[in-house]
């Protein structure tokens, strides 16, 4: 139900294209609290949306486009899309599930019904090679390195997949890091925490190592992840050496350079011996950093049984296990 006050607010926002609360307060002559209540109701009714962070928050009219059109898509396909799809618009809005999928298709002028089937097939293909919700990366590691020091390595997801680009987890990871958004990091943590706990229980992990970041940021993703996971477990001391020029692994094209970079810039400190160790990294291409840190752990006799690597998102390239599908 749109009241006279709500109608006036909608008309004012539409005339301005974007409006702040203080502008609406001045226009109506109402208290800020009263205006905020009306704005919250209009958001709940899906008539407006807000963009920005306090104190610079703006409200705009939500355009009712063809997203509400009925499509001839099977319910099981819709459910897979609802669970797995996420896109972030050029204006920084997070759109999840079916709504996000339709927006993504319209942006690229693609047939929603046809592309929905394609997406479903791709997700089902990769689901078929998962074990307990994890992707086994050991085949890739063995095909990449002459000697692998990890006993197992798992991906929670690929960073990107064919045709559709970045996965839901890939999108969240990228923008959480780039925007240094603590709320998004928290949401991502909540999403992956059950699977990490499951891995810790299955492999009887008694120490966890978080791979330190290379690029300096005010909000460090890996540190926030470590704090949000809040596991009551021993921590492996891993130091990233500061160099005059920061050279991230992803900027190095040759495998030998990646191995050298990891070898000379990451140091595992002297510490007690643990039975099973879990190493967690946010994203990997070759896996050189994880393998190098595992090498140091074994050389320094810090582990008794196994070192397990866990990657939030990893590269699909070289993932030979796909050939099994």
**CA 32 to chain CA mean position, Å:** 36
Q: What is the DSSP string of 139-169?
A: HHHHHH-SS---SEEEEEEESEETTTEE-HH
DSSP helix/strand/coil, 207: strand
Residues 47 and 189 both lie in one domain: no
Residue 214 shares a structural domain with residue 105? no
Q: How many domains does the chain have?
A: 3
The residue count of the chain comes to 325
Q: What is the pLDDT of residue 180?
A: 84
Same domain, 209 and 103: no
pLDDT of residue 193: 92
Q: Which of 127, 150, 178 is the last residue of a domain?
A: 127
User: What is the average per-residue pLDDT within 92-116?
Assistant: 92
Residue 15 structural domain: 4-61
Whether 190 and 231 share a structural domain: yes
Same domain, 94 and 178: no
Q: Strands, E, within 139-257: which ranges? A: 152-158, 160-161, 165-166, 207-210, 234-235, 238-240
Condensed to tens digits (0 to 9), the pLDDT of residues 47-79 reads 888 888 788 888 888 765 544 468 999 999 999
Q: Is the pTM of this model over 0.85?
A: no
């Amino acid at each position: 139900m749109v009241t006279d006050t709500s109608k006036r607010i909608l008309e004012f926002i539409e005339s301005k294209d974007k409006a702040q609360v203080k502008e609406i307060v001045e226009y109506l002559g109402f208290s800020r609290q009263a205006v905020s209540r009306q704005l919250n109701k209009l958001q709940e009714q899906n008539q407006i949306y807000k963009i920005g962070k306090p104190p610079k928050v703006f409200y705009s009219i939500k355009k009712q486009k063809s997203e509400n059109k009925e499509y001839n898509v099977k319910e099981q396909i819709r459910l897979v899309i609802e669970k797995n799809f996420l896109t972030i618009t050029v204006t920084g809005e997070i759109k999840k599930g079916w709504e996000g999928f339709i927006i993504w298709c319209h942006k690229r002028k693609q047939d929603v019904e046809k592309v929905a089937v394609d997406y479903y097939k791709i997700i089902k293909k990769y689901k078929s090679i998962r074990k307990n919700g994890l992707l086994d990366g050991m085949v890739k590691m063995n095909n990449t390195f002459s000697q692998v020091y990890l006993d197992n390595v798992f991906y929670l997801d690929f960073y990107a997949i064919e045709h559709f680009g970045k996965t839901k987890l890939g999108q969240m990871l990228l923008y959480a890091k780039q925007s240094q958004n603590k709320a998004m990091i928290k949401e991502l943590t909540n999403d992956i925490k059950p699977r990490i706990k499951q891995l810790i229980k299955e492999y009887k992990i008694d120490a966890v190592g978080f791979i330190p970041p290379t690029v300096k940021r005010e909000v460090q993703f890996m540190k926030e992840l470590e704090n949000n996971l809040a596991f009551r477990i021993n921590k492996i001391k891993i130091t990233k050496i500061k160099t005059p020029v920061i050279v991230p692994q992803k900027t190095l094209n040759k495998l030998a350079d990646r191995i050298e970079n990891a070898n000379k810039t990451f140091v595992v400190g002297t510490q007690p011996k643990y039975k099973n160790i879990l190493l967690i990294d946010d994203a990997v291409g070759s896996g050189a950093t994880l393998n190098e840190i595992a090498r140091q752990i074994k050389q320094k006799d810090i582990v008794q049984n196994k070192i397990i690597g866990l990657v939030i998102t990893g590269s699909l390239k070289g993932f030979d296990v796909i050939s099994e599908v």
